[in-house]
Amino acid sequence: MKLQTCEMHTGGEPLRIIESGYPDIPGETLLEKRSFVRKNLDHLRKQLMWEPRGHFDMYGALLVKVSRPEADLAVIFMHNEGYSTMCGHACIALARYAVDKGLVKSVTSPETKVTIECPCGLVECFTDLISGHTRFVSVPAFVFQTDVAIHVDGYGELRVDISYGGAFYAILAAKTAGLNVKKSGILELVNLAASITESVKKQVKLYHPESSDLAFLYGTILTDGKDEHSGKPTANVCVFANRQVDRSPCGSGVTARVALQFYKGFLGIGQTLLFESAKTGDIFSGKAVEETRIGDFQAVKVEVGGKGWYTGSATFTLEDEDKLGKGFLL
């Protein structure tokens, strides 16, 4: 086995881009390819995301053949637990990578458009050729339900909002549970967020108008409670998958938060809000750019901006008798 990768990060959140080593992935749609990889090639995810090559919070992107002609590249996202449907920090890094690797159909100045086929749909990215800064417009984002009362073991009744930004998130101001996203310890925040995620999964049935494969709760976002447009950053921590902590402000999470803020009237079309990672301090921009609909839901298209950085490249191998090399987590 030999797997070739390019290593990047966005806002401190790692991205391991898998360039070669996987077999061809069958499937007419990217969701079908994602399903095939999950059922048949999950051992490769464990080798690349888990120790000793990765770690508990590693994140990856598998490049596959596009199934939609308008796309420049197609990607299957992966993490410590499995496979997500959207990843904003990855799209930000992948767009810069695609321009640098000559994967786009045409290069224009000052920005080059990169269309990425994600499991949730097409994501349009625009990368500045000089700075490398990227902004992306994801699939329509919408609010599923607000002020949902759930019982959370150890915390009692909490009320959360559920919003979709390419993936579903439960969103809650941390102070309502007695915590502070900047001052509280990361383990306290993870325990709260993970408990909320599990409670919502048990108590709320999600629905997506395009595919049942998209109808699952990806994680919980704990915020500082600053939702109104003020010109100052609002901080959050996103905990997703199996208690995995996003080091960045979380691109799909920012998308979901903007949709929620727009829905509640805190943010208007064209207004930019800054989103800060409560633990690394990195900043993404987010703004609602266009009202739309998806099924029965009022929705909005959201633009998110940030920058991905290169950290290296790697060739990974597995020796036949290396049992630990197949992947493990502590």
Mean pLDDT in runs of 10 for the chain (330 residues)? 95 98 96 97 98 98 96 98 98 98 94 98 97 97 98 96 98 97 97 98 97 96 89 95 98 98 96 97 97 97 98 97 97
Q: Which tokens in the block code for residue 90? A: 């990855």
Per residue in 270-295, pLDDT tens?
999 999 999 999 999 999 999 999 99
Per residue in 22-32, pLDDT tens?
999 999 999 99
pLDDT for the residue numbered 200:
98
Residue tagged active-site, from 87, 120, 125, 238: 87
The ranges assigned to domains in the chain are 2-138+310-317, 141-304
CA–CA distance, 38 with 33 (Å, rounded to integer): 9
**C-beta pairs of 62-70 under 8 Å, 24+ apart in sequence:** 62/18, 62/22, 62/37, 63/17, 63/18, 63/19, 64/22, 64/25, 64/30, 64/33, 65/24, 65/25, 66/117, 67/27, 67/28, 67/29, 67/30, 67/33, 67/117, 68/117, 68/122, 70/115, 70/122
Ordered DSSP codes for 250-307: -HHHHHHHHHHHHHTTSS-TT-EEEEEETTT--EEEEEEEEEEEETTEEEEEEEEEEE
CA–CA distance, 161 with 143 (Å, rounded to integer): 8
Asked about 87 being catalytic, the answer comes back as yes
CA–CA distance, 326 with 328 (Å, rounded to integer): 7
pLDDT for the residue numbered 228:
78
Superfamily of domain covering 141-304: Diaminopimelate Epimerase; Chain A, domain 1 (3.10.310.10)
Tell me, which fold does domain 2-138+310-317 have in CATH? Answer: Diaminopimelate Epimerase; Chain A, domain 1 (3.10.310)
CA–CA distance, 77 with 33 (Å, rounded to integer): 11
What is the distance of C-alpha 43 from the center of its chain? 22
Q: Which tokens in the block code for residue 204? A: 């709320």
Q: Rounded to 5 degrees, what are φ and ψ at 27?
A: 135, 135
Alpha helix ranges (H) inside the chain: 30-40, 42-49, 88-100, 186-203, 251-263
pLDDT for the residue numbered 231:
79
pLDDT for the residue numbered 222:
98
pLDDT for the residue numbered 318:
97
pLDDT for the residue numbered 15:
98
CA–CA distance, 31 with 9 (Å, rounded to integer): 25
In sequence order, what are the residues at sequence separation of 6 or more whose Cβ sits closer than 8 angstroms to the Cβ of residue 265? none
Cβ pair 313, 6 in contact under 8 A: yes
